[in-house]
Structure 1
Amino acid sequence: MYVVPPPQRSDPGSNSDLRVYQTWKGSNIFFLQGRFIFGPDVRSLGLTIFLIVAPVTIFCVFVARKLMDDFSDHLGISLMVAAVIFTVYVLVLLLLTSGRDPGIIPRNAHPPEPEGLDGSVDAGAGQTPQLRLPRINEVNVNGMTVKVKYCDTCMLYRSPRCSHCSICNNCVERFDHHCPWVGQCIGLRNYRFFFMFVFSTTLLCIYVFAFCWVYIRRIMGMEETTIWRAMIKTPASIVLIIYTFISMWFVGGLTAFHLYLISTNQTTYENFRYRYDRRANPYNKGVVENFKEIFCSTIPPSKNNFRAKVPREPGLPTRSVGAGFMSPNMGKAVDDIEMGRKTVWGDMAPGADHGEGQLADTRVNVKEGELGELSPDIRTTVDETVDRAGIHPRRSSWGRKSGSWEMSPEVLALAARVGEPNRTAGGSSSNLSSETRHA
């Protein structure tokens, strides 16, 4: 009987030098050997840094340096030093926001085991029931029922407030949104730094805006001229005033919006999708407790060690192909904003490829001439089974018969069962004839 060969193992030393960040399945980009993790749009981070550093540089050269001459020594220098320190502080918050794990949940290597394996699933005779994971599960959060979805990409049930980012291709805890300005998802582990970055950028805009006007007023007082003539004498101040005024509307409005979200314990994703102002919010603990949760709670450690060595690949286990696990979305198209994809056919590829590989190994090509060596009974039974199964000679790419047959393992097993009695009968008859000759 034909035995399915075991899958070939990879070289034991092939993955000995690989680390997690080198085999990462998400769309993230790593720097410094996995010490920093960014989103796939990390290039936009350079633009954000330029938009912060360039106006501050202009301010220090054309405004703060002039104010150092007008004010006393300590006050003039402090204006310059404060602008530089504030800018460095904003850049550090930007790096803490964009360069760290936002709360990525590691993917499962295999789908979770379906519940209710008690044999109560109805199935026809000789058939194994198909076990389908439910698309949505219900969990209890603060006495309220919350629905959590199954992620076909990560092969796990998302925790409450978790969502799959279609840009980074990861499930992120307490997913808020993906910010293209920082090139990273905003989630559980970097939301605090994101808000502090936006808020500090707003204060920096106000600082530059205010002292540009102070410099214009100094020109008006020293030269006793009108405001328009004073503005003409310092065009850099006019450019900075216009730039910071527009920026304050953007980052200031974003700061006000997130202050509202923090006070009501919402995320941007939840606010736009669920509209908690029309329904009960199970996460709202009151304004004070909500602010404590964001700014006074301990940031949980990352669930991923990107610099850890990848373990050796184990041998692939033998899995059933005819029945077993079915994804909630198997066989149908899904258009989910959280998934960022249209179909989920690729999600069933690991298991399906493994099963197809086993079937491909069990196929035996039997030439037409070899069928003649079988006994008439075996050949008749095989031919009838082949006709019922609809198996026909395989054709080559040129349209001619290749002279080989593809026979399924069921046909081979049936031929073996039919051949056993014949071989037994043949063996007994040969023994009887030998005994007769001896007699």
Structure 2
Amino acid sequence: MASTDTKNEPNDTVSNTLPETAESAHSDQPEITLSESSAYAEAAVENAETKPNLIVLRQKLASAKRILSRRLLKSFHGDRTTRLYHVWPGNNVFFCGGRLVCGPDPRGLVLTTMAIAMSSWSFAAYVANDVVSFGYAPKIIGSLILTFIVVVNLGMVSTTDPGIISRNDQMLVESATERGVEGDEERVKYCGICNIYGPPRSRHCDVCDNCVEKFDHHCPWIGQCIGLRNYRLYISFLFIGLAFFAYIFAFSFQTIRHRMSQNNVVLIDLLRNCPETLALASFTFAAALLLGLLTCYNLYLVALNQTAYENCHQYYASSQNPYDKGFLSNFMEVFYWSTPPSKVDFRGEVNIYDQV
């Protein structure tokens, strides 16, 4: 008997999760007999059981998490409504009643804040009082101003909604979210985890578990996604951070040179006489070098109107970037155009108990 080649069709669960998969199936399937059809069905069921789809598994876990959170809220709250940020399915952490949106892991943010604070304190304690040039007060005032600006900027970029897109969830009512799909129908992207069709440049962040509009990357040192709404703040943080560490390194290096020329000591003697100044100069030099490279790289991306995700994955290596509007327009889009409002009202009220 001549054997007939058949192609496995997607199972019902996957086709419901990713509708475009069913559309890509071939329509010219060869005819098969009844016995071959039953054998094919058994093999398909066995294959589906042995190789579960990762997206389906993640969706089931997310659904179980949402149902459990609703039941817990129902047992602790007497009313039938709550704020959206209380039941948001992502991994974000909210402060000030949902006004501040942070990432799930604060360790990088804490380390960055400590590095800035310790550098400023070490500068005031061991470098600024050295009689080299300028006075003590002007150097301290300059360092305090830069410290204040960089800390405020860091707080803003780490607590601003990066452009989170609302999920297609029954518990999220229309009064609390905006569900509009931007762009042409053939250009939108489907996310099987959030179950939405998002804008073309949106991506799902595995750390925050959200789809972010114009996703650039998830920065572990800030603890937040970098996207459409906080990219400008991220660029300004790089500039201010570079100025802060370069300022401290300049005076630290000047102090080291002064002591070496005055006392005719070598570098090894500085480890015994002023190890704090040497350590501060080494750390601030490394930090300024890293921030300088990041600043140049991001200015290059701004000039091309690309995100770091698109550039790393070589999205436009073989085709023209459709978002490139020219050098001047690309810079104006990032630094001059107004920031769009948030697509999700995390303070909006939602009814959660009818959906349990």
Establish whether TM, by shorter chain, passes 0.5: yes
1:259 & 1:227 partners in 2: Cα distance?
A: 40
Larger radius of gyration: 1
RMSD: 2.8
Corresponding residue number in structure 2 for 1:44: 108
CA change 1:108–1:76 in 2 (3 A) is same
Contact 1:216 1:227 in 2 (8 A): no
Picking from 31, 37, 57, the partner of 2:121 is: 57
Aligned CA distance change for structure 1 residues 258 and 38 (closer, same or farther; 3 Å) = same
> What aligned pairs does 1:139-158 form with structure 2 within 5 A after superposition?
147-158=187-198
Aligned residue number for residue 264 of structure 2: 225
Residue 102 (structure 1) aligns with: 162
- Distance change in 2, residues 1:313/1:281 (3 Å): same
Q: Following the alignment from structure 1 to structure 2, what is the Cα–Cα distance between the partners of residues 80 and 138?
A: 49
Does the 8 Å CA contact 1:36/1:100 hold for their aligned counterparts?
yes
For residue 153 of structure 2, the aligned residue among 90, 93, 104 is: 93
CA contact (8 A) 2:189 2:198 kept: yes
Residue identity matched to 2:230: N
8 Å contact from structure 2 (residues 127, 277) kept in 1: yes
Q: Which has the higher helix share?
A: 2
- 1:83 aligns with 143
Match of 2:236 in 1: 196
Letter in 2 for 1:299: T
Question: Normalising to structure 1: TM-score of the pair?
Answer: 0.57
How far residue 264 of structure 1 moved from its aligned partner, in angstroms, is: 0.4
Following superposition, the deviation at residue 198 of structure 1 comes to 1.7
Cα distance in 2 for partners of 1:103, 1:158 equals 11
Report the counterpart of residue 366 of structure 1 in structure 2.
none
Q: Which amino acid aligns with 2:153?
A: L
Q: Does the 8 A contact of 1:219 with 1:230 survive in 2? A: no
Distance of 1:228 and 1:248 partners within structure 2: 22
Q: Distance in 1 between matches of 2:186 and 2:269?
A: 61
Which letter maps to 1:252? G
- Supply the AA of the counterpart residue of 1:93: N
TM-score in terms of structure 2 length: 0.69
- Structure 1 residues 240 and 278 mapped into 2: Cα distance closer, same or farther (>3 Å)? farther
Cα distance in 2, alignment partners of residues 217 and 138 from structure 1: 58
Alpha-carbon contact 1:15-1:311 (below 8 Å) kept: no
Write out aligned runs for 1:210-221 (5 A): 210-220=250-260
TM-superposed deviation, 1:242? 1.4
- Hey, what does 1:364 align to over in structure 2? none
Shift of 1:28: 0.7
State the AA in 2 paired with 1:27. N
Q: Taking structure 1 as reference, are residues 286 and 227 closer, same or farther at Cα in structure 2, changes over 3 Å only?
A: farther
- Aligned mate of 2:313, from 266, 273, 277: 273
Q: Which whole-Å deviations, capped at 9, do the CAs of 1:77-133 have from their partners, x for residues lacking one? A: 1111111110111111111111111111111236xxxxxxxxxxxxxxxxxxxxxxx
Unaligned runs of 5+ in 1: 1-9, 111-136, 317-353, 355-439
Verify the 8 A CA contact 1:15 1:312 in the aligned structure 2. no
Distance 1:66 1:286, change over 3 A: same
d(CA) in 2 for partners of 1:148, 1:276 = 17
- Give the Cα separation in 2 of the matches to 1:230 and 1:78: 29
Flag the 1:54–1:138 CA change in 2: closer, same or farther, 3 A: closer
CA distance in structure 1 between the partners assigned to 2:79 and 2:231 by the alignment: 35
Aligned mates of 1:146, 1:285 — CA distance in 2: 21
Q: CA offset at residue 27 of structure 1?
A: 0.8
Is 1:164 equivalent to 2:204 in the alignment?
A: yes
- 1:226 Cα deviation after fit: 4.5
Letter in 1 for 2:141: V
AA aligned opposite 2:206: S
Distance 2:114 2:160 in 1: 21
Report the 3-state secondary structure (helix = DSSP H, G, I; strand = E; otherwise coil) of the residue aligned with 1:65.
coil
Which residue of 344, 350, 354 corresponds with 1:304?
Answer: 344
- Asked if the contact 1:146/1:160 (under 8 Å) is kept, the reply is no
Contact 1:39 1:168 in 2 (8 A): yes
Aligned-pair distance for 1:269? 0.9
Instruction: Please list, as runs of the form range in 1=range in 2, the aligned pairs for 1:226-305 lying within 5 A after superposition.
Output: 226=265, 228=267, 231-232=270-271, 233-305=273-345
In percent, how many aligned pairs have the same letter? 40
SS at match of 1:89: helix
